[in-house]
Structure 1
């Protein structure tokens, strides 16, 4: 991702606020500080740009016995599922 586009994305989320309008016409504003905006067209793009490459870099370095906790689907060991902005990782419990 080139610096210009990265700066653009940062600016979208820097000091972001939301406004909620009540039935009686009053509204409340709050700072948006975690996650991507609900319904934002950029959400899928941000997922593709950042989370998908992160998963691709982490999954190959899983412990050799990770397949023990994976879900077997038609002979394939699935250790993670990702769709839109949801991620499911299959990992052993510690303890």
Structure 2
């Protein structure tokens, strides 16, 4: 049996955790963040970081990476994180929002 064919009994979708990565970046307090990559039932991949940069209103601006492969999704989220970090000026620890540690 394939995990994609599991009967969900009313559930909307199912994903499998393909991998979890730690990315070191000196621009982020603590110098590293985690990225969880999910293989979705459709066959593509979604990468989610455990940290985000807050927007100008002080609200978390969560982003995700997409790809046809695990590594495309990972590269996409690393590129998007870099764009978020570059676009923000003089980041302090208060400029970041961290996900619940239990999610990673």
TM over 0.5: no
Q: Name whichever structure is richer in helix by fraction.
A: 1
Give TM-score, length-normalised by structure 2.
0.29
Larger Rg: 1
Structure with larger RCO (C-alpha < 8 A, sep 6+): 2
